[in-house]
Amino acid sequence: MRRSPLLLTAALALAVAGCGSDSSPSSSGAATTAAAAAAAADTPAGSGGTVTVEMKNIQYSPKDVSVNVGQTVKWVDLDSVEHDVVADKGADFKSDVFGRDGTFEWTATKPGKVEYECTLHPGMIGTITVR
Ligand SMILES: [Cu+2]
């Protein structure tokens, strides 16, 4: 008669993982802005892949992202209004104006800081730090 310690361990791990003790950071309050920005700057580089920026409530979210050379940034319009993505500094991309569920992609080719904006909405701006 053998028990399976492996199975027991797996069950325990599941129970622990499932208890949801991992609290997600609050997203409200101006005091968290700096922390949020720092977190955004620390977006895991990973290897290759795509970083998604949502267009939501007339803002880019996250507003600031970091990617490695070779990574792609993908914007997705989740608003009911149209947006675009136009580089101001550090790059030379310019999307068409697109509406809900529309997307635009740009792949980083060299290190530096890119500033971009939506030309339809003053103050709707973002940055991409390319490493
Ligand atoms: Cu816009």
Q: How confident is the model at residue 45 (pLDDT cuts 50, 70, 90)?
A: very low
* Residue 120 CA to ligand 1 centre (angstroms): 5
Distance from the CA of 121 to the center of ligand 1, in angstroms? 5
Rounded to the nearest integer, the mean pLDDT of the chain is 78
Ligand 1 centroid to residue 119 C-alpha, Å: 7
Q: What is the pLDDT of residue 20?
A: 42
pTM for the model = 0.65
Give all strands of the β-sheet with 112-117 in edge-to-edge order: 64-67, 125-130, 112-117, 86-89
Separation of 86 CA from ligand 1 center, angstroms? Answer: 10
Q: Where are the domains of the chain?
A: 36-130
Query: What's the CA-to-centroid distance between 57 and ligand 1, angstroms?
Result: 9
Say if domain 36-130 classifies as CATH 2.60.40.420: yes
